[in-house]
A and B are shown apart, each in its own frame.
Chain A
Amino acid sequence: MVVSQSPLKDIGASHQLPESGLYVAIVNSSDDAIIGKTVDGLIATWNPAATRLYGYQPDEVAGQPMTILCPPDRIGEIQDILDQIARGERVQHHETVRRRKDGSDVHVSVTVSPIRDEGGRLIGASSIGRDITEQRQARAAGELARRAAALQRVNGNLESFTSSVAHDLRAPLRALAGFSEALLEDCGADLGEEGRGYAERIQAASHQMAMLIDDLLDLSRVARAEMNLQQVDLGAEVTRIAEDLQRDGLGRQVQFAIQRPVQVRADRSLIRTVLENLIGNAWKFTAGQDSPLIEFGTLPAAEEPGVCYYVRDNGAGFDAAYAGKLFTPFERLHSAGEYPGSGVGLASVKQIVERHGGRVWAEGAVGAGATFYFTLDPEAIP
């Protein structure tokens, strides 16, 4: 009790009780910061624990407003507390943030009680504060552990879901495809042309669904696969993909313009999936074009790390109004009869690019080709 300030005189000394010396000792030895303040919120007494908690010596805070212990965004709290005290109410344990002398913030639990003189007149308030940093950390750690456990459960469910899709969903398709083929082989003559047509449709639909399931599993693999970052020349990868397409392309003549080298840090297998999808799409959608051209290169970009990559074609393009749907799994902007596909490729592209800390977007118009842009920012990978 080093601070003495009117009208709240040294609390211990103002009492005439024989145990007053004991009260002083109790306050001084308390582990909680005990601060006496006037009805106006000026600091009157300040115990050693308050010095330990807030860093101020008693003479530095004597007569100062309580607001010096507040971060600027919490100044209003002090007035609210004073208003409550003025009404004679206690302010029960509440958790808040206070600022130390060195400018650092500390989480505290505070109780404020009105103090009255012998006549019952309100003369000030005592504020008892306790550092709850450790409790908060323990609580946060507990919360983190709970979330980790919940996440693990979800992941476990996802694994068994994926496994079930991989194992169980294909079996009925084999029966559909297999027995309709058996039907065609063994009883084809009895079926007639119409019946054979139906059996062929069953077969085709089964194969289509098998492809969908595989694409779905690929998408989930892309989301879960472990990343192994290394130096990759995107230009060289695009060249290889273009060569593969030209070789299997049934004589299609497509002109490629590929910038090389384009060095990035990426997971080679995943980033190759991105390029295969984008180049593959460009290849597919330039099918009706007389002089198809597919370009790969880089452009300056506003966002980190200052460069974006693009794949541009002069093919069928797409309706810009639906550009947002492009990257959603199973959304397709063209009918299956027009251009085959399951609508999973670009969803995989988005997953992979985002896992590399980047972003993907597209520009295009019907009949005017499409350009897909993406950025990669391995530094930003969490």
Chain B
Amino acid sequence: MTSQTILLVEDNPDDEALTLRALKKNNILNEVFVAHDGAEALEHLFPRGAAEVQLPSLILLDLKLPKVDGLEVLRRIRAERRTRFVPVVVLTSSKQQEDILDSYQNGANAYVRKPVSFSEFSSAVSTLGMFWLLLNESPPRLHPPSD
């Protein structure tokens, strides 16, 4: 399980700290890479140069991000063959219908609104980790077409 990593795309340092605290509190000890804006997330997933990175087993994606916003990151993830099936959970402040709809339309696997209460937030993070890292069967790895 520890070989599975999480990509947290979050620009707000408070939310980052709270999310990391919630993961720790719930004994989710997977390695977490934090991208602080959409561009950094894309660089992490699609590094320039050859070296192929290990893909995260779960992406926790905020919507409102500097540089490249969450929806655009989501579109890029879904457009690339290699990342097409990586589970993406939108984890954001808003529960506006447009945001929820846009997220699903662009291929989000789930949409979770960050609760204000930390205990609720913590149990949400715990449930997400439990489901996506333990219960859910990931699709078999897709290899890039050989050429």
Which of the residues A166, A174, A206, A210 comes within 8 Å of B14, measured between beta carbons?
A174
Check if B119 sits within 8 Å of A167, measured CB to CB: no
**Known interface pairs A174-B18, A182-B21. Does A167 touch B93 (Cβ–Cβ under 8 Å)?**
yes
- Which residues of chain A in 194-234 are interfacial with respect to chain B, using CB atoms and an 8 Å cutoff? 203, 206-207, 210, 217, 221
Question: B120 — nearest CB in chain A belongs to which residue?
Answer: A177
| B63 contacts A by Cβ under 8 Å | yes
B contact residues around A206 at 8 Å (CB): 116
| A359 contacts B by Cβ under 8 Å | no
Which of the residues A166, A168, A179, A210 comes within 8 Å of B96, measured between beta carbons?
A166
Bound form: Cα–Cα A166–B98 in Å: 11
| A171 contacts B by Cβ under 8 Å | yes
B contact residues around A259 at 8 Å (CB): none
Bound form: Cα–Cα A181–B115 in Å: 13
Check if B99 sits within 8 Å of A173, measured CB to CB: no
- Which residues of chain A in 162-184 are interfacial with respect to chain B, using CB atoms and an 8 Å cutoff? 162-163, 166-168, 170-175, 177-179, 181-182
B contact residues around A221 at 8 Å (CB): 97
**Known interface pairs A182-B21, A182-B118, A207-B116. Does A170 touch B14 (Cβ–Cβ under 8 Å)?**
no
| B121 contacts A by Cβ under 8 Å | yes
How many pairs of residues, A versus B, come closer than 8 Å at their CB atoms?
Answer: 63
B contact residues around A203 at 8 Å (CB): 117
> Interface readout for A132-170 with B: 1 if CB under 8 Å, 0 if not?
000000000000000000000000000000110011101
**Known interface pairs A170-B114, A170-B116, A207-B116. Does A178 touch B14 (Cβ–Cβ under 8 Å)?**
yes
Check if A170 sits within 8 Å of B93, measured CB to CB: yes
- Which residues of chain B in 13-37 are interfacial with respect to chain A, using CB atoms and an 8 Å cutoff? 14-15, 18, 21
**Known interface pairs A167-B63, A168-B64. Does A178 touch B95 (Cβ–Cβ under 8 Å)?**
no
Check if A179 sits within 8 Å of B14, measured CB to CB: yes
| B103 contacts A by Cβ under 8 Å | no
Bound form: Cα–Cα A163–B21 in Å: 27
Interface residues contributed by chain B, number (CB under 8 Å): 22
Which of the residues A170, A181, A210 comes within 8 Å of B119, measured between beta carbons?
A181
A contact residues around B92 at 8 Å (CB): 167
| B5 contacts A by Cβ under 8 Å | no
B contact residues around A174 at 8 Å (CB): 14-15, 18, 93, 114-116, 118, 121
Q: How far is the CB of B130 from chain A (nearest CB, A)?
A: 20
Q: How far is the CB of B79 from chain A (nearest CB, A)?
A: 24
Question: A209 — nearest CB in chain B belongs to which residue?
Answer: B116
Bound form: Cα–Cα A175–B114 in Å: 11
Which of the residues A171, A181, A207 comes within 8 Å of B15, measured between beta carbons?
A171
Check if B64 sits within 8 Å of A167, measured CB to CB: yes
- Sample 18 A-B pairs with CB under 8 A, ordered by A number: A163-B94, A163-B96, A167-B64, A170-B114, A172-B14, A174-B114, A174-B116, A174-B118, A174-B121, A175-B14, A175-B15, A175-B18, A178-B14, A181-B118, A182-B18, A182-B21, A203-B117, A206-B116
| Contact surface of A with B, Cβ cutoff 8 Å | 162-163, 166-168, 170-175, 177-179, 181-182, 203, 206-207, 210, 217, 221
